[in-house]
Amino acid sequence: MALYALGDLHLSFQADKPMDVMGKVWKRHERKIEKYVNRIVKPEDTLVLTGDHSWGRKLPECEQDLAFIENLPGRKILLRGNHDMFWDAKKTKQLNEIFKDRLFFLQNNFYAYKDYALVGAKGYTFEGPFYLDRRGRIVGWDEEREARAKKLVDREMGRLRESFCQAKTAGYKKFIMFLHYPPTNIMEQTSPFTEIAEENHVTAVVYSHCHGETRFGDSIRGSFHGVQYMLVSGDYLNFHPALVLE
């Protein structure tokens, strides 16, 4: 039994959204997902998909994408990404009822893996625009957008706290924390997300959303203040699910 994670499948079986314009790694990426997930993940394993599942805007436009995910091996737990328009934040319970025992939607709740609680939320990071000097150093940023981002961070932190709270009420003391957005933006060393991870002594923070060579280093990777940070964007991993826990 093992715990794996992979993010940003960006499926589009019913939407006209060719992903290969994003680079070679995206060429027939759904075939790679099918091949590598089937090779690595066993039926008794858990696979957390960290958001941006489908380009469909409404649930009927995602049917084939979600069916594709359902057909992958293991227990599939889905986190909400910024492109998951089909997933109304207030209707997670309904999604869990519709897909009962087939797909598991993580928001304002938690799932157990051995003696760990899998907690999470979409998260949010301020992504600029940043203003750079000739040497590429940050000399300023859009303050209006930053103020808006702070509100979104607060909302996501509320959802994340709820997830932790439910897990603790159920008696869990060990946590793996999932985010869609990176835990920090390019100018931050720490954020409310790294702080809550440290406060709760989480074993790992797993996130995605960052696409392309130039963005993979946007946030923390590896060990920081005793927490392991893992980037699991599909294109970063060439669509191989990453092992989080054995």
d(CA 45, CA 31): 21
Round to whole Å and give the CA distance between 151 and 105: 24
Size of the site for Fe ion (CB under 5 A): 5
Nearer to Fe ion, 92 or 200 (CB): 92
Torsion of CA 5, 190, 85, 165, to 10 degrees: 80
Instruction: Say whether the peptide bond before residue 73 is cis (omega within 30 degrees of 0).
Output: no
Instruction: State yes or no: residue 209 binds Fe ion (CB under 5 A).
Output: yes
We find the least distance from the C-beta atom of residue 7 to Fe ion, in angstroms, to be 7
Question: 82 or 94, CB closer to Fe ion?
Answer: 82
> Looking only at residues 1 through 60 of this chain, which bind Fe ion when binding is defined by CB under 5 A?
8, 52
Cβ-based neighbours of 32, under 8 Å, separated by 6 or more: 238, 239
Nearer to Fe ion, 52 or 65 (CB): 52
Q: How far is the CB of 234 from Fe ion (least distance, A)?
A: 8
The span of 13-21, 139-147, 151-159, 203-211 binding Fe ion (CB under 5 A) equals 203-211
Judged by beta carbon, residue 81 or residue 192, the one nearer Fe ion is 81
Closest CA to 186 of 234, 152, 220: 220
Q: How far apart are CA 102 and CA 100, in angstroms?
A: 5
Site for Fe ion in 64-123 (CB under 5 A): 81-82
In the complex, the smallest distance separating the C-beta of residue 68 from Fe ion, rounded to whole angstroms, is 17
Structure tokens, 210: 């960052």
Nearest distance in Å: CB 153, Fe ion: 15
Cβ atoms within 10 Å, residue 13: 17
Least distance to Fe ion, CB of residue 84, Å: 9
Cβ burial, residue 91 (10 Å; 0-12/13-18/19+): middle
Straight-line distance from the first to the last Cα atom of the chain, in angstroms, rounded to the nearest whole number: 6
- Residue 230 beta carbon to Fe ion: minimum distance, rounded to whole angstroms: 16
Query: Would you say 192 or 234 has its CB closer to Fe ion?
Result: 234
Return the range that interacts with Fe ion (CB under 5 A); candidates 53-61, 150-158, 183-191, 208-216: 208-216
Q: Tell me whether residue 81 or residue 241 sits nearer to Fe ion (CB atom).
A: 81
Residues of this chain that interact with Fe ion (CB under 5 A) are 8, 52, 81-82, 209
